[in-house]
Amino acid sequence: MGLFIVYWVVAVLLFVVGIIQMIIKAAKNQPVKSGLKLVIASVIMLVIGAGACAVILSNLHIGH
């Protein structure tokens, strides 16, 4: 259960840090590519995590 919470905290932190980086760099007219990469990574983690949660919560027994 602890690893589950750590996963979601990391996903949220990546998203927040990415958004902050994008805002700061956009205000300074710098490329926002690094912030965008963090946001994309956090969205991918969100999709994977949500899918895993759906499988766990639905008690699917694949292959049985």
The predicted model gives 21-45 an average pLDDT of 93
Residue 37 counted as domain residue: yes
Q: Which domain holds residue 58?
A: 31-63
Residue 42 lies in a domain: yes
Instruction: Please state the φ and ψ torsions of residue 30, each to the nearest 5 degrees.
Output: -105, 160
pLDDT at residue 27 tops 90: yes
Question: Which phi and psi (to 5°) does residue 63 adopt?
Answer: 90, 10
How does 6-32 read in b/e, with b if 16+ C-beta sit within 10 Å? eeeeebeebbeebeebbeebeeeeeeb
In a domain, residue 17? The reply is no
In a domain, residue 50? The reply is yes
Residue 39 phi, psi (nearest 5): -65, -45
Question: Span 24-50, mean pLDDT?
Answer: 93
Number of domains in the chain: 1
